[in-house]
Structure 1
């Protein structure tokens, strides 16, 4: 690999060793609940024949993949000479549970655990403030609690939700994020679980391969909602990061939304420019899982259509099975564009 290439990894999944790791950060009421039954997080239930984690990512001392900071540094951060690793955790299912108070308490406890055991471990670790979607006012309170800490660089939550994320119910989250100068990121994992909507517009598929492939359609719906509900007009300094949802679908959405806007703009009079312009001005997308076709010329065309060098962020998705090594993907990029996607875009977005 070219060691001169600077890298910021924008999707690194650190994890708990066990639910009991959060006990010191919970009040007695919630502590007793976790002692008796664990966090009780709700997952999609789709069986993956290859598992979720890389087979070689289990820490030497045992435990879940991504649960040992030292091993993560040894296996990911140091070998690839990463300047920063943005931690995205694995708590997305907290937003589809039925108890809003427990969800908010769990997210807050996880954030404190992350601060103690990860951000204070190595300055290259950059944290994401987890918030639960069930009560946006509690989420905003959590953002204000930690938003000024230099170790946290974004707010993160689930891409699975009971209603589209652009709707005004969620606006307190965006107001708090903008107030604290933090982007908001969404990440898949809870689609079809708990009180979330079905994972596809057609309902519940049978196999994990269907569920995993259709995650991009959730991102399409959420992005369309954010634009049409006027989130980026209401919060003009807000940036949004779409993690692990793919990118090849973006030209189609931009074209279709722009086309419809020309005829139907009377429904969204608050929009002052074409929908695709809001995407270019406010949205970022991570590379993993990059859809690299057999004919790279096709992907090059897509990158040109979406102005990829200004809106893409490199991500490895470590330690998951579909990990994208920085020395194996997008080798065809020009040095300038590779530098922007692997480093400069993230450095600017996260103010590193």
Structure 2
């Protein structure tokens, strides 16, 4: 089968085969347990991976570039797959030096084991944000690789991402032409804050449903702190945080800016314009209202044709099949969401 348009998948979770392989990439002086990915105490009761994301021998397709090609890239005839991994959650570890070492191990594994296997694989490097100077050093080490196309950070954080604490990281990302992606997975864990604005919830369903709150807070912070004025070429990708919340956030920010602009004197445009010019969102998990026309209305409100990127979230349980998603949308809009927006953002040939 082939989709009606070419496909670039902007969220594929490749992985280490096991923690021993992870440990092999760590610097020798670091010993002890290697942190796992995922939601910390908020574990999915149905597991993280799809049941059909394993070979007959029980090997995970996410942990083997050959299997990932066979299970995902080939069946869906994907032009490119953006590998996002899961090690971005190292940024909530309390030990800054250990976190930097784990991020470097992830990046080395990505460069040595994954990107050489398939030219359609493109990589998302990560850093540990606990020490911005170490993070900048790692960006300068990894970003020049031609198949590294973005920097990915956890949406779980001690400070919202507009804070000037992070600006050295953004300066380095902009200097290397890398978009910055934010991805959920560790809210409420480590040194991050509570997973919701109201505090700690009781189970995975509440945690998973509330993930968009962090994205809203980060986006308000990025705009209001003037990140896009200070770094005019910087792009952000909000991965796996939903879509339908964006209209009301843009309306509320624009309304408040009209009365409170004295609190953000560095802004030269309406907040919604910064979002449209600098930010992208991925489709998975796409909201699916009972009335499909309502989703189309939301797409019209946010200029989805120009800011949405297709993502499958393979191999996770809520994987979105590119053959099935966005069935009510066709023509140029679908082609841009499934392929062209990502092609332009990541400068892919």
How many residue pairs end up in the alignment?
A: 348
Question: What secondary structure does 1:28 align onto?
Answer: coil
Counterpart for residue 230 of structure 2: 234
Gaps of 5+ in 1: none
Q: Which of 307, 315, 322 does residue 326 from structure 1 map onto?
A: 322
Which among 86, 90, 94 is matched to residue 86 of structure 2? 90
Residue aligned with 2:58, SS: coil
Determine the structure 1 residue equivalent to 2:148: 152
Alignment match, 2:47: 51
Q: 1:213 aligns with which of 202, 209, 213?
A: 209
Q: Offset at 1:301?
A: 0.5
- Cα distance in 1 between the residues matched to 2:37 and 2:50: 22
CA contact (8 A) 1:178 1:235 kept: yes
Equivalent in the alignment of 1:16: 16
Offset from partner CA, 1:245-276 (integer Å, 9 cap, x none):
00000001000000000000000000000000
8 Å CA contact retained: 1:42, 1:194: no
Q: Name the residue aligned to 1:272.
A: 268
1:148-227 to structure 2, matched below 5 A, reads 148-227=144-223
Bigger drift between 203-212 and 20-29 goes to: 20-29
Summarize the alignment of residues 304-315 of structure 1 with structure 2, pairs less than 5 Å apart. Answer: 304-315=300-311
CA contact (8 A) 2:188 2:195 kept: yes
Give yes or no for contact 1:130–1:157 (8 Å, CA) kept in 2: yes
Give how far 1:7 is off.
0.4
For the 8 Å contact 2:7–2:79, the answer to whether it is kept is yes
Deviation by residue 1:21-70 (Cα, 9 ceiling, x = unmatched): 1334322201xx14xx3346684211322111000112344344511111
Q: CA deviation at 1:2?
A: 4.3
Matching residue of 2:281 = 285
Give the equivalent residue in structure 2 for 1:108.
104
Alignment of 1:5 with 2:5, yes or no, is yes
Matched-pair contact (CA < 8 Å) for 1:42–1:96: no
- Residue by residue over 1:82-123, the C-alpha shift from the partner in whole angstroms, topping out at 9 and shown as x without a partner, is 010000001132011000011011101111101111101100
Deviations 1:294-318 (A, max 9, x none): 1011001000000000000000000
Question: Residue 255 of structure 2: SS of its match in structure 1?
Answer: helix
Going from structure 1 to structure 2, the CA distance change for 1:13 and 1:41 (only over 3 Å counts) comes to: closer
SS of the residue 2:63 aligns to:
coil
- Separation in 1, partners of 2:343, 2:302: 20
Query: What TM-score do the two structures reach when normalised by structure 2?
Result: 0.97
Partners of 1:163 and 1:86 lie apart in 2 by 27
CA contact (8 A) 2:37 2:86 kept: no
The answer on whether the counterparts of 1:59 and 1:66 sit within 8 Å (CA) in structure 2 is: no
Establish whether residue 136 from structure 1 lines up as the match of residue 135 from structure 2.
no
Task: Extract unaligned runs of 5+ from structure 2.
Answer: none
Q: Residue 66 of structure 1: SS of its match in structure 2? A: helix
Q: Does 1:62 align with 2:58?
A: yes
**RMSD, aligned CA:** 1.3
| Separation in structure 1 between the aligned mates of residue 194 and residue 236 of structure 2, nearest angstrom | 23
Q: 1:215 to 1:324 in 2, by over 3 A?
A: same
Query: Out of 250, 258, 266, which is 2:246 matched to?
Result: 250
Runs of 4+ in 1 over 3 A off after TM superposition: 1-4, 38-43, 59-65
Alpha-carbon deviation of 1:277?
Answer: 0.2
Aligned-partner Cα distance in 1 for 2:313–2:34: 26
Inter-CA distance 204–106: structure 2 relative to 1 (3 Å threshold) = same
Q: Does 1:119 align with 2:140?
A: no
Q: Aligned partners of 2:336, 2:13: CA distance in 1, in Å?
A: 23
